């Protein structure tokens, strides 16, 4: 281990013990700071930010417990090793519970024991910092990903973690979501609970509905992954808002339907126009030769008017620009009037 850059602060009111410990540490290659009391020791700690502190538990005025508490309040990642007289194990246990990393007993005669205790504390400190940085990186990633993430405890469906995007999508502060039952709270109550919390559920579908705090329902695409966090089986549910995608799909579907209607109406108009023209022309020729007092003349006029109406309808079919439907019996059919560009 590279120790020449490591600074160790030794705080002990006994000059002999302090001198012995400082000499042992200096011989091991450490840079050593020494203080004869708790107040001086805390001043040196704040000025020099040592990498490790060795502190005697029994000192006048500011004892080792108070020094430990002060250092813990400023930086819980700074290793603190307490020095105790042999036979005071209860006080050592108290110090360990308050945050001390390890302990040594005095009188100290073995430099190997001291060095191994110090090295062990440095290794633990390095691992602690590494774990913190790893958690911070993971947290930064979770907060940066453009999707909502909710961690749910499998046993009871309770929300135990929420990222900012999920809180924003639901419309509540993350703290207001913690502890709530996930099914029925951020997913509609009618959704099967198993589908929300069990990644192996056969009814699991990627598309779901998210229930916002104001009651609004938005479509989401959701994935579920099972994991274990602090000895608890949990599922990580991640989801994205697909409202725009659904709207785009709907518009695309409407365009496809409209294209089909336009193609069909064009074909119908093309095929019907010639027969209609023939019927209309024959009616006109017959009416020219017929007596207007003849009862058949009125019927010919009716046929002629209906042929003109059919021509008007085919004109609308040719001018369809929108996809509009209306109910007809138990089905829905194209509403020609509303679909035509001539209509508002």
Q: Which CATH number belongs to the domain containing residue 204 in this structure?
A: 3.30.450.20
Question: What is the distance between the alpha carbons of residues 187 and 209, in angstroms, rounded to a whole number?
Answer: 6
Indicate whether 199 and 270 sit together in one domain.
Answer: no
pLDDT of residue 189: 61
| Element (DSSP H or E) covering residue 299 | helix 295-318
pLDDT of residue 204: 46
Bridge partners, 328 (sequence order) = 331
Indicate whether 266 and 322 sit together in one domain.
Answer: yes
Provide Rg for the chain, Cα atoms: 42
pLDDT of residue 21: 92
pLDDT < 50 stretches in the chain: 1, 190-204
pLDDT of residue 271: 83
Residue 223 sits at φ, ψ, to 5 deg, of -125, 150
Instruction: Say if CB 55 and CB 63 are below 8 A apart.
Output: no
Which of 238, 245, 212, 219 lies closest to 147, judged by CA?
Answer: 238
* Residue-range definition of the domain harbouring residue 133: 7-141
Which of 268, 250, 246, 284 lies closest to 318, judged by CA?
Answer: 268
Question: What is the distance between the alpha carbons of residues 96 and 89, in angstroms, rounded to a whole number?
Answer: 10
Residue 1 lies in a domain: no
SS3 223: strand
pLDDT of residue 49: 92
pLDDT of residue 343: 53
Question: What is the distance between the alpha carbons of residues 197 and 157, in angstroms, rounded to a whole number?
Answer: 7
If you search the block for the tokens 């307490």, which residue do you land on?
82
| End residue of a domain, out of 125, 141, 157 | 141
Question: What would the two tokens of residue 58 be?
Answer: 């029994």
pLDDT of residue 301: 84
pLDDT of residue 120: 92
If you search the block for the tokens 């990903």, which residue do you land on?
145
| End residue of a domain, out of 241, 259, 294 | 241
Rounded to the nearest 5 degrees, what angle is found at the Cα of 236, between the Cα atoms of 231 and 237? 155
Question: What is the distance between the alpha carbons of residues 82 and 41, in angstroms, rounded to a whole number?
Answer: 13
| End residue of a domain, out of 141, 170, 202 | 141
Indicate whether 43 and 156 sit together in one domain.
Answer: no
Tally of structural domains, the chain = 3
Rounded to the nearest 5 degrees, what angle is found at the Cα of 176, between the Cα atoms of 171 and 177? 75
Length of the chain: 344
Indicate whether 327 and 295 sit together in one domain.
Answer: yes
């Amino acid at each position: 281990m590279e120790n020449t850059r490591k600074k160790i602060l030794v705080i002990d009111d006994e000059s002999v013990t302090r001198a012995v410990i400082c000499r042992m540490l200096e011989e091991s290659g450490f840079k050593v700071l020494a203080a004869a009391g708790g107040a001086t020791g805390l001043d040196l700690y704040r000025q020099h930010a040592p990498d490790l502190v060795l502190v005697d538990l029994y000192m006048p005025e500011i004892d080792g417990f108070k020094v430990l508490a002060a250092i813990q309040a400023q930086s819980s990642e700074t290793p603190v090793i307490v020095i105790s007289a042999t036979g005071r194990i209860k006080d050592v246990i108290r110090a360990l519970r308050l945050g001390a990393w390890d302990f040594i007993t005095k009188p100290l005669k073995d430099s190997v024991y001291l060095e191994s205790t110090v090295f062990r504390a440095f290794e633990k400190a390095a691992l602690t910092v590494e774990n913190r940085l790893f958690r911070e990186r993971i947290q930064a990633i979770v907060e940066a990903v453009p999707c909502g993430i909710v961690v749910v405890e499998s046993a009871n469906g309770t929300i135990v973690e929420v990222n900012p995007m999920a809180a924003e999508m639901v419309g509540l502060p993350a703290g207001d979501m913690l502890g709530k039952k996930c099914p029925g709270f951020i997913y509609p109550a009618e959704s099967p609970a198993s589908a929300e919390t069990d990644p192996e559920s056969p009814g699991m579908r990627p598309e779901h509905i998210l229930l916002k705090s104001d009651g609004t329902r938005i479509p989401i695409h959701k994935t579920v992954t099972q994991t274990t966090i602090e000895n608890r089986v949990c599922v990580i549910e991640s989801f994205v808002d697909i409202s725009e995608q659904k709207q785009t799909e709907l518009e695309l579907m409407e365009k496809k339907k409209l294209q089909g209607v336009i193609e069909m109406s064009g074909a119908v108009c093309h095929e019907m126009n010639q027969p209609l023209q023939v019927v209309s022309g024959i009616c006109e020729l017959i009416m020219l030769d017929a007596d207007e007092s003849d009862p058949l003349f009125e019927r010919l006029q009716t046929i002629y008017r209906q042929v003109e109406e059919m021509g008007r309808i085919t004109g609308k079919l040719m001018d369809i620009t929108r996809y509009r439907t209306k109910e007809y019996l138990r089905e829905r059919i194209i509403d020609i009037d509303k679909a035509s560009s001539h209509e508002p």
